[in-house]
Structure 1
Amino acid sequence: MNYCLIVDDSRTIRKVSRDIVESLAFEVAEAENGAAGLASCRTRMPDVILLDWNMPVMDGYSFLKELRKTPGGEVPKVVFCTTENDLKNITQALEAGADEYIMKPFDKDILCAKFQSLGLLPEAFSV
């Protein structure tokens, strides 16, 4: 079973994201900020990470840069899920190692399509 880590400071976003990702047959863990997310990755590296940009303690961009320097940290697919829609931010995230970028709010169809494009779900998977 694929394993997804959701890193977001919003309990509501984590809950909604968890419901969607679990419906896609993923095991899910949550972290409320980048520092907690890195600690979780050191315990068990996920297959995919849904990552918020703006969080206290450690933001998503800092988390991503640290993740990619961590042993095994090149493996997870990272999908930034944020309200930051400036081209500069998107470019910065992709250059730091993000694999995809989606805007909040998102739904199951959008997340399913992103997971399919990343090879995490079969193309024939129906929502």
Structure 2
Amino acid sequence: MRALVIDDSRAMRTILTKQLGKLGFDVAQATDGRDALDLLDTGYVPDVALVDWNMPRVDGLSFIKAVRARDDLRDVSLMMVTTESEQRNIVRALAAGAHEYVIKPFTEEVIGEKLALLGLVGV
């Protein structure tokens, strides 16, 4: 299984990469939505992308909309992982095509539970 971690914080990318690695994922990283879209344009297709909202160049919501507009990426599960906790932002992300929404800070268990809900890991 492949995972893509998209976050402008090196520390957050490291934390999520370690957690996903423990769950058996091969993990790629991107520093923002533009870098992530460039990676997808090379033919890399992850099973899941964990996406921060607030990033330079292309933010997480714009990234999700861009992925959802592409037929070749329709099977990619998208999980927003962000500090954005307002209900309206959660609704916006889910309406744009995110499958799950995790508010920072989070625990390893929460990430595992969300991936299990998506059918990507065993419970």
What interval of TM-score do these two structures reach, taking the shorter chain for normalisation? Answer: over 0.9
Which runs of at least 4 in structure 1 moved beyond 2 Å after TM superposition? none
Give the 3-state SS of the residue equivalent to 1:22 in structure 2: helix
Residue 77, structure 1, aligned to residue 64, structure 2 = no
Kindly state the Cα deviation for residue 61 of structure 1 after the two structures are TM-superposed.
0.5
Paired position in structure 2 for 1:109: 109
Deviations 1:54-106 (A, max 9, x none): 00011000111111112322111100000101011000000000000001111
Return 5+ residue gaps in structure 2 as ranges: none
| Partner AA of 2:38 in structure 1 | A
Structure-2 separation of matches of 1:59 and 1:27: 23
**What TM-score results when the alignment is normalised by the length of structure 1?**
0.93
Letter matched to residue 29 of structure 1? A
For residues 35-114 of structure 1, the aligned pairs below 5 Å read 35-43=34-42, 44-114=44-114
Query: Which whole-Å deviations, capped at 9, do the CAs of 1:96-124 have from their partners, x for residues lacking one?
Result: 0000000111121111100101000122x
Q: RMSD of aligned C-alpha atoms?
A: 0.8
Specify the alignment match of 2:122 in structure 1. Answer: 122
Letter matched to residue 21 of structure 1: L
Quick one: which amino acid aligns to residue 61 of structure 1? L
Secondary structure (helix, strand or coil) at the match of 2:73 reads: coil
State the alpha-carbon separation in 2 of the partners of residues 5 and 85 from structure 1: 22
> 2:2 aligns to what?
3
Q: Distance in 1 between matches of 2:4 and 2:39?
A: 8
In structure 2, what is the Cα distance between the partners aligned to 1:113 and 1:64?
21
| 1:56 partner amino acid | P
Q: Which amino acid counterpart does residue 92 of structure 2 have in structure 1?
A: Q
The whole-number CA distance in structure 2 between the counterparts of 1:85 and 1:73 is: 27
What's the TM-score, normalizing by structure 2? 0.96
Aligned residues: 122
Q: Percent identity?
A: 39
